[in-house]
Structure 1
Amino acid sequence: MRLEPLGSGVEVYVTDAHHFSTDTILLAHFAAPKNGDRIVELGTGCGTIPLLLIRDTLPREITAVDIQPEAIELLKNSIRRNINNGIERAALIHPVLGDIREIPAQMPAGECDLVICNPPYKLGGSGIVSPDSAKKIALHETECTLDDICAAASRLLRFGGRFVLCQRPERLTDVLGAMRAHGMEPKRLRMVQGRADKAPKLFLCEAKRGAKPGYMDVLPVLMIEDENGFTPEMREIYGSYKDNHDG
């Protein structure tokens, strides 16, 4: 277990099995929470996204759900660490150990403003499956499917509430179809490229519960690097996190 700084004094405990990536930071930024939001993250892992959200906003509360006890313990340790360091709003994060397919039924329906998920990118049974159980759960749909995630998000969200996730481009049709099947209309989409000469490697998508079909805001491609390293936009997104990793 080791500490990673997230900027502005916020820190997160990570391990080799439970850590975060650029995708995590991009999703947290894309989610664009508002002060006072009631938020749920499905599959929180070590809890990086809730910690990034409380770094920059003041939500009403964040419920962080994961099926892996080790991940939830890491997040609990991070919450205690941040509170002890004077980041009192870390107490707004509530870790919950449980199955995404079951936990939403135990929570009040239709009360969340924002649901966030960085889901497994690969279909169950596809690709080379990691023998490490934590990595297998994170990368493959072994514990929940995209349909399970969308069903959970839809139940939790209030009318007009937002669901945001990231996924690989080859699964775009799956994501849009699952969102619509559960009463959430895709309204914002952004592709992410490593460099100008590379194909998109990720997309970020937002849907609204109960919204009418029709217009979707397809944003300009987010470019991660140019000839000078990180693009200006990426440096802005990384913000105070990047300040801890320069030099």
Structure 2
Amino acid sequence: MKNKFINIDETLDDLQLNNIFIIQKKDAFRFGVDAVLLANFVKDKRNAKVIDLCTGTGIIPFILSQKTKVSDITGIEIQEEMVDMASRSVLFNRLEGKIRFINHDLRDIKFVKGLEKVDIVTVNPPYKLKGSGIINSNDKNAIARHEICCTLEDVVKASKVLLTHNGKFYMIHRPDRLVDIMCIMRKYKIEPKFITMIYPNVKKAPNMVLVEGQNNGGKFLRWGEPIYIHSLDGSYTDQIEKIYGRN
């Protein structure tokens, strides 16, 4: 059965979550702890509809399908190869009635406006500002990490179009972009409501930030308990073990 779904340059990886597996390239961008943190950050409600932007191979939709009570999840991704892998993962896991993937550019607002509005938008976008840093020679990795195919503003603009009146927006990004994140969210009337900082360990500065916003929400911001990825001995903290469902 495995050989029917995966190609020679791919792996079939166990998410250790209700026997769900995901197909990924051996030598291209692979999901990390940031995607798992984002999926865990979502406050779902029964029968909610979700769109995951910049979905890649679909890690966030697959986790949400198992850890929440949402009814319908759509992933949107510009890279056709990623969507092909994600769609085969749907078939492998027999989740055709719950998850689907669309190969399209989220900057195409006419297309975005044609989609049904949803209760929740999630996004783990490219973190690195366009024109900054060294661009990876592997285009697939560069697109995943740098604002080549979409910017932070593109992501928020598309989310605004997609969300119902009080719909929720969930994103993971870098703390150095926090001012940009707040300003752009306010520009599109997605009010920042809850922020959680992610630290590599207790002795290092935060390197990721989780942001929850509400479409047309009131101006009130809360801060969540910090999340620490590693203990000083290099092992995962109890917080992370709990998120991964291992304690």
What is the TM-score when the length of structure 1 is the normalising length? 0.91
Question: CA shift at 1:106, angstroms?
Answer: 2.4
Query: What is the CA–CA distance in structure 2 between the aligned matches of 1:158 and 1:35, rounded to whole Å?
Result: 16
SS at match of 1:226: coil
SS at match of 1:200: coil
Is the contact between residue 90 and residue 100 of structure 2 (CA under 8 Å) also seen in structure 1? no
Say whether 1:11 aligns with 2:21.
yes
SS at match of 1:121: coil
Say whether 1:151 aligns with 2:157.
yes
1:83-102 equivalent positions in 2, closer than 5 A: 83=94, 89-102=95-108
Query: What is the CA–CA distance in structure 2 between the aligned matches of 1:14 and 1:208, rounded to whole Å?
Result: 32
Question: CA shift at 1:34, angstroms?
Answer: 2.3
- Tell me what 2:223 maps to: 218
Say whether 1:161 aligns with 2:167.
yes
Say whether 1:234 aligns with 2:240.
yes
Runs of 4+ in 1 over 3 A off after TM superposition: none
Match of 2:68 among 57, 67, 85: 57
Structure 2's unaligned 5+ residue stretches are 1-9
Q: Which has the higher contact order (CA 8 A, sep 6+)?
A: 1
Match of 2:11 among 2, 17, 20: 2
SS at match of 2:201: coil
- Tell me what 2:114 maps to: 106
SS at match of 1:162: strand
- Tell me what 1:208 maps to: 214
Question: CA shift at 1:32, angstroms?
Answer: 2.7
Query: What is the CA–CA distance in structure 2 between the aligned matches of 1:131 and 1:56, rounded to whole Å?
Result: 36
Deviation digits for residues 13-69 of structure 1, max 9, x if unmatched? 011314200001000001132221100000100001100011122322111000001
Question: CA shift at 1:172, angstroms?
Answer: 0.3
**1:13 alignment partner AA:** I
Query: What is the CA–CA distance in structure 2 between the aligned matches of 1:114 and 1:190, rounded to whole Å?
Result: 18
Query: What is the CA–CA distance in structure 2 between the aligned matches of 1:11 and 1:184, rounded to whole Å?
Result: 34
Structure 1's unaligned 5+ residue stretches are 84-88
Query: What is the CA–CA distance in structure 1 between the aligned matches of 2:232 and 2:154, rounded to whole Å?
Result: 41
- Tell me what 2:4 maps to: none
Query: What is the CA–CA distance in structure 1 between the aligned matches of 2:101 and 2:191, rounded to whole Å?
Result: 28
Is the contact between residue 54 and residue 90 of structure 1 (CA under 8 Å) also seen in structure 2? no
Q: Which moved more, 1:200-209 or 1:58-67?
A: 58-67
Is the contact between residue 23 and residue 86 of structure 2 (CA under 8 Å) also seen in structure 1? yes
Is the contact between residue 76 and residue 95 of structure 1 (CA under 8 Å) also seen in structure 2? yes
Question: CA shift at 1:131, angstroms?
Answer: 1.5
- Tell me what 1:27 maps to: 38
Say whether 1:172 aligns with 2:178.
yes
Is the contact between residue 40 and residue 65 of structure 1 (CA under 8 Å) also seen in structure 2? yes
What is the TM-score when the length of structure 2 is the normalising length? 0.91
1:66-81 equivalent positions in 2, closer than 5 A: 66-81=77-92
Query: What is the CA–CA distance in structure 1 between the aligned matches of 2:221 and 2:87, rounded to whole Å?
Result: 38
Query: What is the CA–CA distance in structure 2 between the aligned matches of 1:175 and 1:119, rounded to whole Å?
Result: 12
Question: CA shift at 1:222, angstroms?
Answer: 0.5
Identity %: 32
**2:164 alignment partner AA:** R
Aligned residue-pair number: 233
CA RMSD for the aligned pairs?
1.4
Is the contact between residue 202 and residue 232 of structure 2 (CA under 8 Å) also seen in structure 1? no
